[in-house]
């Protein structure tokens, strides 16, 4: 009966001899079928060159994408108001036409100014530039700027009158409304 050799359970206790003797024996290698070291080196160099070329191309593509994104950001900032500017050109044309006619009545001038104001309001609306006209609303320091206070019968801290409208662009206040605010009457 032959004894079966068992490997120790922990790898630290193995000696190199035990590892070598425990390894399965391989089939005999034919040196004529193995590629030479020179051939292996050429293959490795070719693969390294291909990987380097692919890396350079990826790096260049990344740089191109970054540069295009920066150009797009610059153009977006530069031409962000283009649509609004086109709307304002029509308003300017109307004002110039009104001023070029010297022999017009006050009524015709008034109706022309009203038409021009409607054009301007339409341009504001298309660009999401909205009026802040808070008469009767509760005072909001983020949207209103109080110029003075007046004593009134009723609730305090309400907008009594608007001296100058405010404006918001896409829910962002670009100019607060100048308002007069109510305060409670002194007893």
Can you give the pLDDT of all 187 residues of the chain as single tens digits?
555 555 445 545 445 545 455 545 555 656 667 788 999 999 999 999 999 999 999 999 999 999 999 999 998 888 888 888 888 898 999 888 888 888 888 888 888 889 999 999 999 998 889 999 999 899 999 999 999 999 988 888 999 999 999 999 988 999 999 999 999 887 6
End-to-end CA distance of the chain: 119
pTM of the model: 0.57
pLDDT score recorded for residue 143: 94
pLDDT score recorded for residue 21: 52
Residues in the chain: 187
- C-alpha 107/C-alpha 115 separation (Å) is 12
Please choose, from the candidates 141, 132, 136, the residue with its C-alpha nearest in 3D space to the C-alpha of residue 164. 132
Top CATH class, 130-187:
mainly beta
Q: Domains of the chain: which residue ranges?
A: 130-187
Please choose, from the candidates 91, 177, 178, the residue with its C-alpha nearest in 3D space to the C-alpha of residue 126. 91
Please choose, from the candidates 95, 100, 133, the residue with its C-alpha nearest in 3D space to the C-alpha of residue 116. 95
- C-alpha 160/C-alpha 163 separation (Å) is 10
């Amino acid at each position: 009966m032959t004894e079966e050799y068992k490997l120790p359970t922990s790898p630290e206790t193995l000696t190199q001899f035990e590892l070598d003797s425990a390894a399965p024996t391989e089939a005999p290698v034919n040196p004529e079928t193995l590629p030479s070291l020179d051939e292996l080196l050429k293959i490795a160099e070719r693969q390294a060159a291909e990987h380097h070329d692919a890396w350079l191309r990826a790096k260049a593509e990344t740089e191109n994408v970054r540069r295009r994104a920066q150009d797009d950001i610059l153009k977006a900032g530069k031409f962000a108001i283009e649509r609004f500017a086109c709307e304002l050109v029509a308003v300017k044309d109307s004002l110039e036409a009104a001023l070029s006619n010297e022999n017009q009545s006050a009524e015709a001038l008034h109706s022309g100014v009203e038409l021009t104001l409607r054009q301007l309001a339409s341009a504001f609306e298309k660009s999401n530039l909205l009026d802040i006209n808070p008469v009767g609303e509760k005072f909001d320091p983020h949207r209103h700027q109080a110029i003075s206070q007046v004593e009134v019968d009723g609730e305090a801290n309400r907008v009594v009158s608007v001296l100058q409208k405010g404006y918001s662009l896409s829910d962002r206040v670009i100019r607060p409304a100048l308002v007069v605010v109510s305060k409670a009457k002194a007893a």
